[in-house]
Amino acid sequence: MSEPLDATGVLARCVAGLGGDDRPGQRRLTELILGALAARTHLVAEAPTGSGKSLAYLSAVAASGMRAVVATATLTLQDQLWRKDLPLVQEHGGIAVTGALLKGRANYLCLAKLEGARGGEALFDERPGPDFARDLERLSRFSAESDTGDVADLPASIEPRSWRAVTCGPNECPGASHCEVGAGCFAELARQRAGDADVVVVNHALYAAHLGSGGKLLPEHDAVILDEAHAFDRFATSALSAEVTAGGLRRLAGRLRRAGADADDADGVAESADLLEETLGDVDGRVDPTEPALATLLSRIAERVAAAMRGVDRDGGTVQAQALRLATTRLEAIRNLQSPGRDDVAWVEGRERPVLRLAPIEIGERLAPILFDEVPVVLISATLGPGRRFEPLARRLGLDPGLAPGRSSMGPPPDDAPDATVDDGAHSAGPGLAYDARRFESPFDLRAQAMLYVPRTLPDVRDDGWPEAAATEVCELVDAAGGRTLVLCTSWRNVHAFAEVLRGRTSHRVLAQGDDATARLVDEFSTDETSCLVATRAFWQGLDVPGLSCVLVVIDRLPFTRPDDPLEQARRDAAERRGGDGFAEVDLPAAALALAQGAGRLIRSHEDRGVVAVLDRRLATARYRSVLLEAMPPFRRVIDGDVARDFLARTRGT
């Protein structure tokens, strides 16, 4: 690794190339990131919308001389980095930097699957649609013409089921050396390009899977940037979890049968799927997989899978290699469930198609040795939740809020940089679990641009009178805003209820999640300025609709996790066993982060104006409200509906 160069110079050239303005906060963020990379320490930074964080960390990485992975949670930001920000640094930064975009295997066309489909030997896990023959011809042309084989480059007319028939997931791919067409594999070619790049852009799911695989999925790298870091623990938990389903076992039985396994052994795997479905059908919630009945069943399933695997020729072709790879993955999941760790929790969810899951209660204990002990990590997001040092997030990911890197590696902020709070944690000489924490102020004048309105006169959300009172409040606010409203709900029931109310009591066009594809709904909401969009948790983050199309964000209630969620319940229990408070340590920080994410949909530029209305009076009255408000953008706070409606009317120019 070469000596670090001037990162702020790289940034300045990029900003000039973009025609943008110099921002002291963006310069300071760039310096902090470069300092953390050079000192091999960890940095946790909250940089609100408009801070220019993407260019800041790309400029720092380019100047550092390190090979880095940048991981994001949303496709929108991943696409922006690859198509806009990284090319800007490459063109104007004044430093040679190469890049690669890498996705999970299911995003690339599988040549082996394509050959099987064309030859009538397809390994279909679901029945293709009626247009599969037509799609197969188009996919064949795509494979010959595409340089990437990436799903993003597909013609829009390809049916999703047809695409799924010719892709290969990571749990079934045997690797290029065991595949008859591995030399031309699109996924392998993408990995090769990533191996030669200075900056590799991935998503959280792929990076978490890389960690879970023991570091086998991505090329070696010197540093990691986790953008949208608030979301990473969910992907990490998923990657380090295990699950078994009856449907998965039935698909495996079919694969093994086609790969040449003994028919009786393959049938035994299918029969074990029936037993699993029957056993789990009456179970809901936490279970003990070592309890005799369930332990006996898992042992029987493992034996039948292992027996069927023994009948498959390991020196056979791609069909055999894929079946064995999938079987190995299924068997590993079963064995993990048979021997859960001391800090694991197992549960069953879903009535019609039950899933038996196993997950770590505390993901940080698993992450620390495979991530933070290996490379310097920059965790950055527009919202990171409560705490001066983002303590809940840090602890959840495996960092120690009581430790901060020594000042010599980072240096204190200069006197002319008041937009970054100073980290005043204890000092530690090495990276370990220590980290530096910085919170940057928004570049927007949020008190002037926005209001946080909480109608204290509404009934409690648990009261029978709340739905009607909330419906009346929403309609009055929407009329004042002239439409232009994003309604964020904590349940599908409320999505349907508010959509019905707005359609029946207002004259505005109402779009509802589930009525159309997500991308199309967002596009219509953005272009139809007076429309309303009613959605649930999938829209609480990543949605970017600046301007007059969104001047009102309504949040139905405080986004607390369901009290019966098995994993969260186990986390509460763990906190209480340590002598803590489950609600304060688990539920409250998670709700604060989600609430801040939802409120962050409102102000996306210097010109934006509007109101965030939270229809849950607990935000104004509950004793714990200060924790929630601490994580929220510093909007002007009001409880008078007339003030909020007047501001909305003036915002839309009436």
Question: Which residues lie below 8 Å from residue 325, measured CB to CB, with a gap of 6+?
Answer: 171, 172, 173, 174
Report pLDDT for 426. Answer: 42
Tell me the pLDDT band of 183, cut-offs 50, 70 and 90.
Answer: confident
With residues binned 3-state (H G I as helix, E B as strand, rest as coil), the percentages for the chain, rounded to 5, are 50, 15, 40
CB atoms within 10 A of CB 80: 16
> 603 with 633: CB under 8 angstroms?
yes
pLDDT above 70 covers a percentage of the chain that reads 94
Instruction: Give the whole-angstrom CA distance, residue 284 versus residue 564.
Output: 10
Instruction: Give the whole-angstrom CA distance, residue 279 versus residue 273.
Output: 10
DSSP SS3 for 75: helix
**Residue 183 DSSP code:** G
The one-letter amino acid at 277: E
Report pLDDT for 408. Answer: 33
Alpha helices in 40-110 (DSSP H): 53-64, 75-80, 86-92
Count Cβ neighbours within 10 Å for each residue of 569-588 and write b for 16 or more, e otherwise.
bbbbebbeeeeeebeebbbb
Q: Could you read off the pLDDT of 226-272 as tens digits, one per residue?
A: 999 999 999 999 999 999 999 999 999 999 998 999 999 999 999 99
HSE, side-chain direction, 13 A CA sphere, residue 372: 25
pTM for the model: 0.91
Q: Which helix (H) or strand (E) holds 43?
A: strand 43-46
Q: Could you read off the pLDDT of 237-250 as tens digits, one per residue?
A: 999 999 999 999 99
As a whole number, mean pLDDT of residues 380-404 equals 93
Tell me the pLDDT band of 431, cut-offs 50, 70 and 90.
Answer: very low
Q: Tokens standing for 392?
A: 């809940």
Greater model confidence, 26 or 158: 26
Report pLDDT for 283. Answer: 87
From 35-44, 150-159, 399-408, the region with the lowest mean pLDDT: 399-408
Radius of gyration of the chain (CA): 26
Instruction: Give the whole-angstrom CA distance, residue 639 versus residue 613.
Output: 10
HSE, side-chain direction, 13 A CA sphere, residue 385: 24
CB atoms within 10 A of CB 137: 11
What's the 3-state SS for 203-236? EHHHHHHHHHCCCCCCCCCCEEEEECHHHHHHHH
Q: Tokens standing for 470?
A: 């909330």
Report pLDDT for 451. Answer: 98
Q: Could you read off the pLDDT of 516-552 as tens digits, one per residue?
A: 888 889 999 999 999 999 999 889 988 889 999 999 9
Model confidence at 140: pLDDT above 60: yes
**Burial (CB count within 10 angstroms: exposed 0-12, middle 13-18, buried 19+), residue 51:** buried
Q: How far apart are the first and last CA of the chain?
A: 59
Report pLDDT for 53. Answer: 96
Greater model confidence, 204 or 154: 204
Which residue, chain included where needed, has tokens 């928004």?
A: 442
Instruction: Give the whole-angstrom CA distance, residue 524 versus residue 506.
Output: 18
Model confidence at 425: pLDDT above 60: no
HSE, side-chain direction, 13 A CA sphere, residue 97: 29
From 134-143, 415-424, 580-589, the region with the lowest mean pLDDT: 415-424
Backbone angles phi, psi at 214, to 5 degrees: 80, 25
Report pLDDT for 404. Answer: 75
Q: Tokens standing for 585?
A: 């340590």
**CA distances for 200 relative to 41, 78, 193, 445, angstroms:** 20, 11, 9, 35
**Burial (CB count within 10 angstroms: exposed 0-12, middle 13-18, buried 19+), residue 562:** exposed
DSSP SS3 for 45: strand
Q: Tokens standing for 143?
A: 């494979």
As a whole number, mean pLDDT of residues 66-86 equals 92
Q: From the DSSP assignment, how many helices (H) and strands (E) are in the chain?
A: 28, 20
Model confidence at 592: pLDDT above 70: yes
DSSP SS3 for 69: strand
Report pLDDT for 352. Answer: 82
Question: Which residues lie below 8 Å from residue 113, measured CB to CB, with a gap of 6+?
Answer: 122, 123, 165, 166, 167, 168
Instruction: Give the whole-angstrom CA distance, residue 292 versus residue 299.
Output: 10
Q: Which helix (H) or strand (E) holds 133?
A: helix 132-145
Instruction: Give the whole-angstrom CA distance, residue 7 versus residue 34.
Output: 7
* Cα 312 to the center of its chain, rounded Å: 37
Which residue, chain included where needed, has tokens 């299924």?
A: 330
Backbone angles phi, psi at 326, to 5 degrees: -65, -40
Q: Tokens standing for 424?
A: 């005043």
Q: Hey, what's the torsion of the CAs at 495, 496, 500, 501, to 10 degrees?
A: -50
Instruction: Give the whole-angstrom CA distance, residue 124 versus residue 105.
Output: 17
As a whole number, mean pLDDT of residues 182-208 equals 94
As a whole number, mean pLDDT of residues 412-423 equals 44
Instruction: Give the whole-angstrom CA distance, residue 35 versus residue 411.
Output: 8
**Burial (CB count within 10 angstroms: exposed 0-12, middle 13-18, buried 19+), residue 357:** buried
Q: Could you read off the pLDDT of 342-351 as tens digits, one per residue?
A: 899 999 998 7
User: What domains, with CATH codes, occur in the chain?
Assistant: 7-98+198-222+375-439 (3.40.50), 105-191 (no CATH), 245-357 (1.10.275), 446-651 (3.40.50.300)
Q: Tokens standing for 245?
A: 């389903």
Instruction: Give the whole-angstrom CA distance, residue 133 versus residue 156.
Output: 16
Evaluated on CA atoms 311, 312, 316, 319, the torsion sign reads positive
**Residue 361 DSSP code:** S
DSSP SS3 for 319: helix
Model confidence at 173: pLDDT above 90: no
**Residue 2 DSSP code:** P
